[in-house]
Chains A and B, each alone.
Chain A
Amino acid sequence: MATDLRISNISKIYPGCIANDNVSLQFKSGKIYALLGENGAGKSTLVKILSGVISPDNGEVFLNEKNLKLSSPLDAKKNKIGMVFQHFNLFETLSVFENLSIDATEDNKSLRLRINEIFKKYNFSIDLDVPVLNLSAGQKQKVEIIRCLLRSPKVLIMDEPTSVLTEQETEELFISLKKFCDEGILIIYITHKLKEVLSLCDEVAVMRKGKVVSVSQTQNEKVETLANKMVGQKLAKIKKKINISKNKDEIFKVKHLNFYSDDPFETNLVNLNFSVKKGECLGIAGISGNGQNELFQILSGEIITPNTSIIFRNKEIAKLNPKQRREYLMAFSPEDRISQAAVPELKIYENVALNNFKASNFFEKGLVNERKIKDHSKKILSDFSVNTDNVELKSQFLSGGNLQKLILGRELITAPELLICYNPTWGLDVGAINYIHETLIKINDQEKSTILISTDTEELLKLSDRIAVIYKGKLSKIMSSEEVTSEKLGVLMGGGSID
């Protein structure tokens, strides 16, 4: 039976922010719909309304011309609207089966049978009796999806499903979603990733500042046209001028980097050797989980490995901790903005003060020099166009893009000679990505060096002068970006060889 979902004049106003402004959309089964927009455009509010988590101030939702009253998540369930949230709604300490059985009406035996049927049909395989906290992000998402499928949904809403997935898992997800679509489930796919929209979806609605600004067939769209609609202005194309000169000084040199761990969740690193020249960007590509985490932690000094030599500005720094390395003018931007780079519960200026240098004089005689830190923070906020000038704001209220700008600003305002960043644009929208990319290029223009560890090959090709690929803890030979294509990188990232 065909499903027809219609949203009519939905509005939701929070103090100081119109999250949804008269949103009207129509969806029909048999197609995959994209809801595209930057962070804060109102996509998540809209899907929370559809799943009954919050109720709208105004407007109605119709499913097959029946007016739905969605005042709690139970109502959405009853009306066969399934929802997979961006932040998983699972119970980490309960087993997979317990997670699935919590809202089931049948007995455990027949539930197990039904789950196994779903496993067979879609080629899933997950141990039902392990606690969810032992699963990978992709497996957790599958549990969420199975939970929806068990209720034979008419509508399945996916909120930014690929932000935590590896490329392999993303591909698997897309195959499943297409299967669901063929079976008549109406799929609404929320994202800010343009490429996913083009490769997966049939129709796309773009949201900006709480309003729907365009609805169109994806076949008539390109990455650029969608990006412009999403941001509301023309985005400049960024491409770095590749700059490889043989006679520049090597500023950073790593020799015999080995790392061995007993933890099965960590990757061993095998004999990495590389160097970075002045004003150069060295890109390190790879699918996540191939040792990037460990490499970043070793370069930043969080992990000290024996017998490794790291020369920075002609000094041996392999035994120094992150703070000491910073004193030598290195700077770091970790992948996990919320838990590694910044403390979300602290205010902006307090986070800035965490990066405390002898030279910065943030602390005098053991006391905090609050005014100095605040002035310094204000400078960062304005220099790096963070979308607020309130240094008292808690960092958790900044969007991902603004938080990343703050972190980069904090790291760069001391004019470091080498910046090491790990997935700096992870989860950001195009506007913020552009800004970060421009900033990174500017650093190289000022003859400072960068090491960019990233899982985004496009980003690497845009920004790096030389690129190497990390696969299972081993580094490929370092290539000039001119001779590298994304196909070549793809082969190396998959463990192949290009010679």
Chain B
Amino acid sequence: MSLDISFIGILIGSIMASSVPLILAASGELITERSGVLNLGVEGMMIIGAISGFALMVITDNLFIAIVGSMLSGVIISLIFGFLTQSLLTNHVATGLALTIFGIGLSAMLGKNFVGIPGKEFPILFSSLRESIPFFGPILFGHSIVLYFAFALPFLTNYFLKKTKLGLIVRAVGDSPVSASNQGINVILVRYCCILYGGAMCGLAGAYLSLIYTPQWIENMTAGRGWIALALVVFATWSPIKVLIGALIFGGITILQLHMQAIGFRIPVQFLSALPYLMTIIVLVVISRDSRKIKLNTPTSLGRIFYKEK
């Protein structure tokens, strides 16, 4: 088998495509966690996004409605989480786990009639450039709008957190909700917004899977990507750019090890399948080993319930 340069370009393009759902979900969850809320329901919100996007596409035959609808469904299901944890003060971890289990079950039920229906082709941008430029063509062009958005998102998130007033408020709430409240910041409102935003991004990540990446509905099609996204946020020490790096490594090794399996390397298949997880963790741990930075980036109040004094 020849590893010519255009093949590598296509390979990189496919790696990018496979890491999109991780980038979207992890960027959303990062904002949620930065406000001090630990939402373990990422997997559940993603799968709900996947089925609602696909179902809306089949029903309305309109991809725009499908995409927006998937985000809205993510918002609605994360609203349940927000209401429970912020208004009824339930435990974040237990509520998040319940949300995932609920999401997987609900999506299977809703999706029963959609199994086996073929998806619709999602429009790609600059497809002519993709063919005409060798190597860089397949990397830079011929992707869906969602992919371009996903790759811009970590940078936008970084800018939002570091440079804007609202980002400062989100970080402040995550650092010390009591102080924030005493400064007159509406902690509950800020956290609700961050939870809903996280839900929207997870919904979009799910829709990317069912509408663009593998355009069809398969039960449990997120296949643990939500958990990977959660782990990425933690191992990237809440830094959006490192989330992007982590997602690319994970996507990259997943694709590479598939090729290695196909070629027939003499390495146990189980080890190759475990490789993406291992490598992602190792790389992220190594690039974020500065303990001072970890301390500054970690939302101090993560997962803790906030009571307002009366």
- Interface residues in chain A, defined as those with a beta carbon under 8 Å from any beta carbon in chain B: 48, 51, 53-55, 72-74, 77, 85, 88-94, 98, 101-103, 131, 133
Please tell me which one of the listed residues A51, A55, A73, A98 contacts residue B168 in the complex, with CB atoms under 8 A apart.
A98
- In the assembled complex, the Cα of A485 lies from the Cα of B211 at a distance in Å of 84
By a CB distance below 8 angstroms, the chain A residues around B180 are 91
B182 A94 Cβ-Cβ under 8 A: no
- In the assembled complex, the Cα of A93 lies from the Cα of B296 at a distance in Å of 5
B175 at the A interface (CB under 8 A): yes
By a CB distance below 8 angstroms, the chain B residues around A103 are 183-185
Lowest 5 A-B CB distances belong to which pairs? A74-B184, A89-B179, A91-B175, A73-B184, A89-B182
A89 B171 Cβ-Cβ under 8 A: no
Q: A91-B172, A92-B300 are in contact. Are A77 and B184 (CB under 8 A)?
A: yes
Q: Identify 25 residue pairs between A and B in the complex whose beta-carbon atoms are under 8 Å apart, listed by A's number.
A: A48-B309, A51-B182, A53-B309, A73-B181, A74-B184, A89-B176, A89-B178, A89-B182, A89-B183, A90-B176, A91-B175, A91-B176, A91-B179, A93-B296, A93-B297, A93-B300, A94-B172, A94-B175, A102-B168, A102-B185, A103-B184, A103-B185, A131-B296, A133-B295, A133-B296
Q: How far is the CB of B108 from chain A (nearest CB, A)?
A: 41
B183 A102 Cβ-Cβ under 8 A: yes
Interface residues of B in 163-191 (CB under 8 A from A): 165, 168-169, 171-172, 175-176, 178-185
- In the assembled complex, the Cα of A142 lies from the Cα of B182 at a distance in Å of 17
Nearest opposing residue in chain B for A73, CB measure: B184
B266 at the A interface (CB under 8 A): no
- In the assembled complex, the Cα of A98 lies from the Cα of B172 at a distance in Å of 9
Q: A54-B310, A89-B179, A133-B295 are in contact. Are A94 and B171 (CB under 8 A)?
A: yes
By a CB distance below 8 angstroms, the chain A residues around B178 are 89
- In the assembled complex, the Cα of A74 lies from the Cα of B180 at a distance in Å of 11
A85 B183 Cβ-Cβ under 8 A: no
B298 at the A interface (CB under 8 A): yes
A-B contact count (CB 8 A): 59
Q: How far is the CB of B288 from chain A (nearest CB, A)?
A: 15
By a CB distance below 8 angstroms, the chain B residues around A72 are 184
- In the assembled complex, the Cα of A337 lies from the Cα of B228 at a distance in Å of 41
- Interface residues in chain B, defined as those with a beta carbon under 8 Å from any beta carbon in chain A: 165, 168-169, 171-172, 175-176, 178-185, 295-298, 300, 309-310
Nearest opposing residue in chain A for B299, CB measure: A93
- In the assembled complex, the Cα of A77 lies from the Cα of B182 at a distance in Å of 10
Nearest opposing residue in chain B for A55, CB measure: B310
By a CB distance below 8 angstroms, the chain B residues around A94 are 168, 171-172, 175
- In the assembled complex, the Cα of A74 lies from the Cα of B168 at a distance in Å of 18
Q: A54-B309, A74-B184, A103-B184 are in contact. Are A93 and B179 (CB under 8 A)?
A: no
By a CB distance below 8 angstroms, the chain A residues around B296 are 93, 131, 133
- In the assembled complex, the Cα of A72 lies from the Cα of B183 at a distance in Å of 9
Please tell me which one of the listed residues B169, B297, B309 contacts residue A102 in the complex, with CB atoms under 8 A apart.
B169
- In the assembled complex, the Cα of A90 lies from the Cα of B172 at a distance in Å of 9
Q: How far is the CB of B290 from chain A (nearest CB, A)?
A: 13
- In the assembled complex, the Cα of A73 lies from the Cα of B185 at a distance in Å of 9
Please tell me which one of the listed residues B169, B181, B295, B309 contacts residue A93 in the complex, with CB atoms under 8 A apart.
B295
A53 B182 Cβ-Cβ under 8 A: yes
By a CB distance below 8 angstroms, the chain B residues around A93 are 171, 175, 295-298, 300
B179 A90 Cβ-Cβ under 8 A: yes
- In the assembled complex, the Cα of A74 lies from the Cα of B219 at a distance in Å of 50
- In the assembled complex, the Cα of A121 lies from the Cα of B300 at a distance in Å of 34
- In the assembled complex, the Cα of A131 lies from the Cα of B180 at a distance in Å of 16
Nearest opposing residue in chain A for B310, CB measure: A54
Please tell me which one of the listed residues A55, A73, A88, A92 contacts residue B175 in the complex, with CB atoms under 8 A apart.
A92
Nearest opposing residue in chain B for A88, CB measure: B179
By a CB distance below 8 angstroms, the chain B residues around A48 are 309
Best-surrounded residue of A73, A92, A102 (most CB of chain B within 10 A): A102
- In the assembled complex, the Cα of A72 lies from the Cα of B184 at a distance in Å of 7
Nearest opposing residue in chain A for B183, CB measure: A103
Q: How far is the CB of A108 from chain B (nearest CB, A)?
A: 10
By a CB distance below 8 angstroms, the chain B residues around A88 are 179
Nearest opposing residue in chain B for A75, CB measure: B184
- In the assembled complex, the Cα of A89 lies from the Cα of B297 at a distance in Å of 19
Q: How far is the CB of B304 from chain A (nearest CB, A)?
A: 13
- In the assembled complex, the Cα of A55 lies from the Cα of B180 at a distance in Å of 18
Q: How far is the CB of A18 from chain B (nearest CB, A)?
A: 16
Q: How far is the CB of B162 from chain A (nearest CB, A)?
A: 10
Q: How far is the CB of A8 from chain B (nearest CB, A)?
A: 21
- In the assembled complex, the Cα of A72 lies from the Cα of B310 at a distance in Å of 10
Q: How far is the CB of A102 from chain B (nearest CB, A)?
A: 6
By a CB distance below 8 angstroms, the chain A residues around B172 are 91, 94, 98, 102
- In the assembled complex, the Cα of A5 lies from the Cα of B264 at a distance in Å of 83
